[in-house]
Amino acid sequence: MADSTLTVDDDTTDEGGLKRSITGGQLFFYTLGDVLGSGIYVLIGLVAAAVGGAFWLAFAAGIAVAAITGSAYAELVTKYPQAAGSSLYVQKAFGNRAITFLVTVSFLAASFAATGSLAAGFSSYFGQLWGAPPALLVSLVFVALLVLVNYIGITESVVANMLMTFVELSGLIIVIVIAVVHVARGDADFATLTDISVAGSPALAVLAGVSLSFFAMTGFENTANVAEETIDPCKAFPRSLVGGMVVAGIVYVLVSMAAALTVPTDRLAGSDVALLEVVKEGILPFSTDLMTTIFTVIALVAITNTALVTMVTQPRILYGMANEDVVPAVFAKIHPTRRSPWVGLLFGGLVVGALLVAGTVVLEAGGKLDLVERLALVTVVLLLAIYALVIVTCLKLRGRDEHDRAFRANTPLLVLGLVGNLAILYYTIDDDPKALLWCAALLAIGGVLYVAEKLFGSKAEPAGDPDPTTTSDGTAAR
């Protein structure tokens, strides 16, 4: 891959490439919606079980490490505003196609696992409204609908994401309002917020919570993969990416405190729909059944929002790396009218569906498996490794491809973020080594793609006339 400084117009559409249509405001809500919806609705009960009433500490620590990592992404995006995200950065830094391929496949595997976890979480909430359809069927239909929306186009997907972000924020505001009313009545026990009631070391308990809660922090890395479709990425990304994560972190801590003050920790820990337990307390002067239904719908929208963004990422990673001859060239195909990388989109939907089926088979065979938790931990393991490498890459690329509009992250904070990512990664693997088996199974998909590229690989024909400012490897010409 060539090293070159990239100059991007504010609003362009490459004839043979992706369309620049995402504004800075849309990018902010794209980040905020992805981060907010992924874990606070799905995993809060598991985090409470790991830590106790002080589980808000796990969210606070996790978002701090994630935000530092996000600043590394912001610096790299402003230097290299192209599709492929972390894979592109690693290739720029090390020039090693084997490492680049491993990062690409790891990111894809994490994205597949995250979508599967969210789809399983979606079926849990959906069961509160209508318990008749099998959970697997609900999850598979959900994934199919995500594929359809993303096929229609990136602009439509981002607009849908922005609208759903407002809906999911309303649900979290409801939780906070319930807690405020509860506190105002004098019924809250603030000692709960300092209670780490699990056995063993409090520090390890919080680290266990961070390991689980980190799934809720992921999603910001997806934003980097739409850099090639963003208007003026050098201006938009630092404020939108880091800003979105900071806002999400504040909301996470407030909601965690609200849930801990309102509902007994053991009930939160034992629920698959923990935030719904707050509404079921009947604190607000409205029908509890009505509020439960409304909140369930909001939760479904929130999970859909995050899953939609995650699904956007998968075909764009494949698209970017197909243009680098790392995966088969068929993934570089773009639909002639919708401008969507449709082959990668269909492939992603099939892999996520296979994950859900495999998990259901294990459950029905008597295996002790929480599919939401298992796939969330797989996502965390893979992404933490990538995050650590991205921070190293950011530091290694200092002094290369610099320009006056590039963002520069704080170096001491990056070192702290690297240590944080590695510490969480070590604990997660040590605590649940079985997650590595699922990681290996997903990474095996990369082996198949690698063999297919070696046997049948050839450069994909561009969808339109080639851009004369772009070299054959997908980077900007000098």
Decide which of 296 and 469 is more confident.
296
- What is the reported pLDDT for 278? 95
Mean pLDDT (whole number) for 450-470: 56
pLDDT bucket at 367, cuts 50 / 70 / 90 = low
Yes or no: say if 58 and 47 are a contact pair by the CB < 8 Å rule: yes
| Residue 330 clears pLDDT 90, i.e. is over it | no
Judge whether residue 15 has pLDDT over 80: no
The three-class DSSP label of residue 325 is coil
CATH architecture, domain defined by 24-456: Up-down Bundle (1.20)
- Higher-pLDDT residue of 142 and 4 is 142
pLDDT for the residue numbered 104: 81
Q: Give the pLDDT of residue 156.
A: 63
Quick one: 274 exposed, middle or buried, by C-beta within 10 A (0-12, 13-18, 19+)?
buried
Phi/psi-derived region of residue 199, left when phi > 0, alpha when psi is between -120 and 50, beta in every other case: beta
Please tell me the distance from the alpha carbon of residue 349 to that of residue 13, in angstroms, as a whole number: 27
Distance of alpha carbon 33 from alpha carbon 312, whole angstroms: 13
Residue 203 half-sphere exposure toward CB, CA atoms < 13 A: 3
Q: What is the pLDDT of residue 37?
A: 63
Contact assessment for residue 42 and residue 51, using Cβ atoms and an 8 Å cutoff: no
pLDDT tier, 467 (very low <50, low <70, confident <90, very high otherwise): very low
pLDDT at 260: 95
Torsion angle in degrees (nearest 10) through CA of 214, 273, 173, 38: 30
What local confidence, expressed as pLDDT, does residue 420 receive?
A: 94
- Which whole number is the average pLDDT over 381-407? 92
CB-facing half-sphere around the CA of 444: CA atoms within 13 A: 7
CB 55 within 8 A of CB 256: yes
In this prediction, residue 25 carries a pLDDT of 81
Q: Residue 476 above 80 pLDDT?
A: no
Mean pLDDT along residues 79-104: 84
Residue among 218, 209, 254, 177 nearest 39 (CA): 218
Nearest to 418 by CA among 450, 396, 447: 396
Mean pLDDT of 48-70: 92
C-alpha to C-alpha distance for 18 and 158, rounded to whole angstroms:
14
Q: How far apart, in whole angstroms, are the C-alpha atoms of residue 355 and residue 314?
A: 15
DSSP state of 13: B
Across 9-23, 130-144, 152-166, 368-382, the highest mean pLDDT is recorded for 130-144
pLDDT greater than 70 at residue 211: yes
* pLDDT at residue number 225: 67
pLDDT at 198 over 80: no
* Residues written for the chain: 478
Burial classification of residue 366, based on how many CB atoms lie within 10 Å of its CB (0-12 exposed, 13-18 middle, 19 or more buried) = exposed
Whether 380 shows a pLDDT value over 80: the answer reads yes
Measured in degrees and rounded to the nearest 5, phi and psi for residue 230 equal -105, 140
How far is 296 from 298, CA to CA, in rounded Å? 5
In this predicted structure, the answer to whether residue 378 has a pLDDT above a threshold of 80 is yes
- Reported for 428-436, long-range contacts at CB under 8 A and 24+ positions apart, including other chains, are 428/211, 428/377, 428/380, 428/381, 428/384, 429/381, 431/208, 431/211, 432/377, 435/374, 435/377, 435/378, 435/381, 436/381
Cβ–Cβ < 8 Å for 165, 385? no
Strand partners, 19: 13
pLDDT band per the 50, 70, 90 thresholds, residue 4: very low
Q: What pLDDT is recorded for position 199?
A: 63
Q: Is 223 a residue whose pLDDT tops 90?
A: no
Q: Name the band, by pLDDT with cuts 50, 70 and 90, for residue 302.
A: confident
The predicted pLDDT at position 473 comes to 35
Q: Give pLDDT, residue 38.
A: 58
Backbone dihedral region for residue 280 (phi beyond 0: left; psi -120 to 50: alpha; all else: beta): alpha
Least confident of 218-232, 296-310, 407-421: 218-232
Burial of residue 254, with CB atoms counted within 10 A of its CB: 0-12 exposed, 13-18 middle, 19 or more buried: middle
Q: What is the pLDDT of residue 83?
A: 65
Alpha carbons 255 and 277: distance in angstroms, whole number = 13
More confident call, 358 vs 363: 358
Least confident window among 124-128, 173-177, 263-267, 304-308: 304-308
The residue extents of the domains of the chain are: 24-456
pLDDT, one tens digit per residue, over 246-300 is 898 899 999 999 999 999 999 999 888 899 999 999 999 999 999 999 999 999 9
d(CA 107, CA 222): 10
CB under 8 Å to 393, separation ≥6 — which residues?
Answer: 72, 76, 86, 89, 90, 92, 93, 94
pLDDT band of 186, cuts 50, 70, 90: very high
Nearest by Cα to 215 from 440, 435, 441: 435
Across the chain, what does the average pLDDT equal?
Answer: 83
Give the whole-number percent of the chain exceeding pLDDT 90: 40
Condensed to tens digits (0 to 9), the pLDDT of residues 407-459 reads 999 999 999 999 999 999 999 998 888 889 999 999 998 888 878 877 876 55
